[in-house]
Chains A and B, each alone.
Chain A
Amino acid sequence: MVSSPDAVIVGCAESPYARHPPADTTTSQVLADAGARALTSAGLEPSALDGLAVSSFSLAPDHAVDLAWRLGLRLRWLMQDTNGGASGINMLQHATRAVQAGDAHAILVLAGDHLPRDRFQDLVDNYNRATSDHLAPLPFGGPNSLFAMLTQRHAAAHGLQREDYGALVVAQRQWAAGNPGAAYRDPMSLHDYLNAPVVADPLCVYDCVPVVTGADAVIVCAPDEPTEKKAVAIRALKISINPDDQQGDGLRTGLAEVADDLWRDAGIGSGEIDMAMVYDDYPAMALVQLADLGFAGDGDVRALIHERIATRQIPVNTSGGQLSAGQAGAAGGLHGVVEAVRQLRREAGERQVAGARTALVAGYGMVCYRYGACAGATILETIT
């Protein structure tokens, strides 16, 4: 990977995730906080920005332009993304082309949510037409029931037990211990996992992301944009939308279809990448994405868990992932990007992966009916 990248990330930040935010918290506030922190991270003033992208389930009645106005930004490029867990990668795809084409020079990419219990319930029950018409009336308890059944299919397909998923969850909690921003950092044993309250068989509370308030942000620039801080190159990026009309088993995402193109564009293989941040709304989905992207070369998912993830042979979700750090709505789609950039800039503190130069980040989301329909992945690389 020596050629000039299409775009670089020059700053990243997270507005601290809060399990119980103050009562007067608003979505716009946490998005602005993440944006301000990202500007500090990049060493830029707001006046340097000429592009803004935002993804949020709870920004309404405001829109992207209202956010731009309230932030006092003068822009030439603006987008609002609705792809949930895939929004981070999706916005990076658009932002990359915008700076490549010269439509914008410095784009603030934001994702975040503040979803109090009643708003969260409303979002879950009215996620789309199919959900409000056919799932909410069951009632279905949100995506937990859908991914409980998907996890049963996954376990049957790969011969996995709860102990195997637990090993992934415990490994991520160990990473979270080094992340001051994680909602849950206390040590968790496999015993704790196996004895946790069941939410929807076979999923227990530790298989389901804790909902938090928060936001993530990165700043995307053209590679020739002068910056004082360390930049991270976007080497490759692919997305896939609705690969199977929701008529599959959900055990293969669109990442499987774009994986070859992604690695070819990046010029490296899955065996050479230094870390992976995958969208962990549920442990099975983290494993599905890793397998789709070639990390379980011979299809042995149990070996991937115990011999590679638990041993940190491949560092996976070094922030603790959403399972330990928390899921701040749409911010979950950008969380892995922020963590990867922190690692590649050597700003990851106690959890810093020594010598890491490359990272894979994958996003996944938007359950149309039975499982997510959107997926995307990017390869990031340190620039020295």
Chain B
Amino acid sequence: MTMTELEIQCCERCGTSLFPDRLWCPGCGAAELRHQPAGPGRVEEETTLRRSAEPVRLGTVRLESGPLIIVRLSRHARAGMQVHLELTPSRTIWARATPD
């Protein structure tokens, strides 16, 4: 499966990072928003969906650039760990533990 690094919006005027996409920058009002790689983040919380066919582990990741992102946690990614975010063609955002 081809994975790509998740991209997020960045305001070209004030530098605010945004996810999900906004229509203009809520910080400064600029319409110039370009996409850039999400970069590293850290898992703040995790939960497990117990009623699905098999348990699904989800987490909240705070990117170093600011935005909070809801992710699927890969096997080794846990709360407190540094992760990077990948996107599958079916748009699942996976958080993978970043090797120390």
**Once the chains are docked, how many angstroms separate the CA of A100 from the CA of B17?**
44
Closest to A135 in B: B70
Across-interface contacts of A48 in B (CB, < 8 A): none
**Once the chains are docked, how many angstroms separate the CA of A139 from the CA of B20?**
17
Question: Which residues 43-75 of B have a CB within 8 angstroms of A?
Answer: 45-52, 56, 58-60, 66-72
Given known A-B contacts A149-B45, A149-B47, A138 and B70 have beta carbons under 8 A apart: yes
Across-interface contacts of A369 in B (CB, < 8 A): 20, 70
Interface membership of chain A positions 108-152, coded 1 if the CB is closer than 8 angstroms to chain B and 0 otherwise: 000000000000000000000110011101111100111011001
**Once the chains are docked, how many angstroms separate the CA of A198 from the CA of B55?**
11
Contact B47 A148 (CB under 8 A): yes
Closest to A202 in B: B47
**Once the chains are docked, how many angstroms separate the CA of A140 from the CA of B51?**
11
**Once the chains are docked, how many angstroms separate the CA of A198 from the CA of B66?**
31
Contact A247 B49 (CB under 8 A): no
**Once the chains are docked, how many angstroms separate the CA of A135 from the CA of B59?**
11
Contact B92 A137 (CB under 8 A): yes
Contact A139 B56 (CB under 8 A): yes
Given known A-B contacts A149-B60, A370-B60, A134 and B70 have beta carbons under 8 A apart: yes
**Interface residue tally for chain B (C-beta within 8 Å):** 26
Q: Which of B48, B52, B68, B71 contacts A201 (CB 8 A)?
A: B48
Contact B47 A152 (CB under 8 A): yes
Determine chain B's interface SS by DSSP, over half rule: strand
Contact A134 B58 (CB under 8 A): no
A165 to chain B minimum Cβ distance, whole angstroms, is 15
Contact B49 A200 (CB under 8 A): yes
Given known A-B contacts A134-B70, A369-B70, A200 and B91 have beta carbons under 8 A apart: no
A246 to chain B minimum Cβ distance, whole angstroms, is 8
**Once the chains are docked, how many angstroms separate the CA of A134 from the CA of B38?**
14
Is A197 an interface residue when CB atoms closer than 8 A count as contact? yes
Closest to B72 in A: A138
Contact A200 B50 (CB under 8 A): yes
Is B26 an interface residue when CB atoms closer than 8 A count as contact? yes
**Once the chains are docked, how many angstroms separate the CA of A137 from the CA of B6?**
14
Question: Which residues 35-69 of A have a CB within 8 angstroms of B?
Answer: none
Contact A134 B47 (CB under 8 A): no
Residues of A within 8 A of B (CB): 129-130, 133-135, 137-141, 144-146, 148-149, 152-153, 197-202, 245-247, 369-370
Sample (18) of A-B pairs whose CB atoms are under 8 Å apart: A130-B20, A134-B20, A134-B69, A134-B91, A135-B70, A137-B90, A137-B92, A138-B93, A140-B49, A145-B58, A149-B47, A152-B45, A197-B50, A199-B50, A199-B51, A200-B58, A247-B68, A370-B60
Q: A137-B91, A138-B70, A148-B47 are in contact. List 19 more A-B contacts (CB 8 A).
A: A133-B91, A134-B69, A134-B91, A138-B56, A139-B49, A140-B49, A141-B51, A145-B49, A145-B58, A149-B45, A153-B45, A197-B50, A199-B50, A200-B50, A201-B50, A202-B47, A247-B67, A369-B20, A370-B60
